[in-house]
């Protein structure tokens, strides 16, 4: 929500409607920035909560998504790295 401080930040805009619009866009930009910051922090928080593995991973192998072991890899297939 745009505040009076946001409105006052755009004192160079004389038209009230445009000034309110500018303050609302500024408030929206600030809110999106806060959401983006939170989303960037989530993986680190998630990884910090994970327990250490019982044994080390000896191999990080790419695992195909939506294919069983008998299907061949084709150009453009998606895969993830999954520790074995």
CA distance 78 to 71: 13
Judged against a pLDDT cut of 70, whether residue 83 lies above it is answered with: no
For the stretch 12-64, pLDDT in tens is 999 999 999 999 999 999 999 999 999 999 988 888 887 777 776 666 666 67
Judged against a pLDDT cut of 60, whether residue 84 lies above it is answered with: no
pLDDT band at 76 (very low <50, low <70, confident <90, very high): confident
In angstroms, what CA-CA distances link 49 with 31, 70, 78, 81?
27, 36, 28, 20
Which of 21 and 82 is assigned the larger pLDDT? 21
Q: Is the alpha carbon torsion for 68, 72, 74, 78 positive or negative?
A: positive
pLDDT band at 74 (very low <50, low <70, confident <90, very high): confident
């Amino acid at each position: 929500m745009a505040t009076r401080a946001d409105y006052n930040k755009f004192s160079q805009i004389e038209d009230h409607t445009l000034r309110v619009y500018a303050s609302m866009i500024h408030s929206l930009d600030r809110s999106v920035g806060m959401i983006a910051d939170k989303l960037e922090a989530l993986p680190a928080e998630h990884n910090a909560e994970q327990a250490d593995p019982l044994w080390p991973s000896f191999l990080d192998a790419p695992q195909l998504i939506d294919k069983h072991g008998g299907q061949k890899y084709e150009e453009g297939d998606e895969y993830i790295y999954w520790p074995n």
